[in-house]
Amino acid sequence: MASQEIEKLAGALAQLPGLGPRSARRAVLWLVKHRGKALPQLLEALGAVQDRLVECEICGNVDTRNPCGICADPRRDAKSICVVEDVSDLWALDRARLFTGRYHVLGGKLSALEGVRPEDLAIDTLLGRVAPKDGEGGVDEVVLAMNATLEGQTTAHYIAERLEEFPVRITQLAHGLPVGGELDYLDEGTLAQALRARRPVG
């Protein structure tokens, strides 16, 4: 039987996504074993995040600065905005380092069943960013990078419609063949989507 403190730590870790009680106990044991070095490192990292973590008031990204590193980067194209559901999607896209514009995090997706309404998402701030200011065009292109789920696609359609009043190009991530994918192994839904989104060559 572990002490109350150790149980408490295990309980807190068990809440983390992908962990659960068994993995949490394993992580605690590892920390106990490496308490000389790993524990202080973890403490320091956690403390720094707790002290300095902020949500970017422009795009909703989490960072230790506000505006975040991406919004503050002058090399990034401010006229191109990629809209994502969550911070995890932003990180996934930015890991690829392909998109040179900036981001906008909605903080979820529309879901009538779960009671997530347009006003619960950062949609008005997105419209504010896109709207032309003082005669100057705000944004040239909005890339909708929602997940290919029912709610994700509903949200994409919704935002596209709300953006219609602005002179902005609206694009959406393509759905279909994965890179290196073999047709023989793809499910029918993906194949159908790829066929639907086929395009001329050359």
Partner 1 sequence: MALDRITLSRFRNHADTALDDTRRFNLLVGENGAGKTNVLEAISLLAPGRGLRRAALADLPSQSGGGGFTVGASLAQAEGEPVRLGTFVRADLPGRRKVRVNGAEASAASLGEWLAIGWLTPAMDRLFADSAGARRRFVDRMTLALEPGHARHAARYEGALRERNRLLGDEREPDPAWLDGIEVQLAEHGAELAQARLRTIARLSDALAAVPDEPFARPLLAIEPGGPADEAALATALREGRRADRRAGRTLTGPHRDELLVTMAGKSMPAAECSTGEQKAMLIAITLAHAELAAQGRPGLLLLDEVAAHLDPVRRAALFERLREGAAQVWLTGTEMTPFAEIAEEAAVWRVREGAVERV
Binding site for partner 1 (CB under 8 A): 110-113, 117-118, 150-151, 153-158, 161-162, 187-189, 192
Name residues whose C-beta falls within 8 Å of residue 103's C-beta, 6 or more positions apart in sequence. 59, 61, 70, 81, 82, 83, 84, 90, 93, 94
Q: How far is CA 19 from CA 28, 30, 92, 162, in A?
A: 12, 14, 21, 39
Beta carbon of residue 187, minimum distance to partner 1 (angstroms, whole number): 8
- For partner 1, the closer of residues 128 and 189 by Cβ is 189
Residues near 50 by beta carbon (within 8 Å), at least 6 away in sequence = none
Whole-angstrom Cα Rg for the chain:
22
Q: How far is the CB of 162 from partner 1 (least distance, A)?
A: 6
Nearer to partner 1, 61 or 155 (CB): 155
Q: Measured from the CB of residue 80, what is the shortest distance to partner 1 in angstroms?
A: 23
Q: Using the minimum distance from each CB to partner 1, give the nearer residue, 11 or 118.
A: 118
Residue placing its CB nearer to partner 1 in the complex, 9 or 156:
156
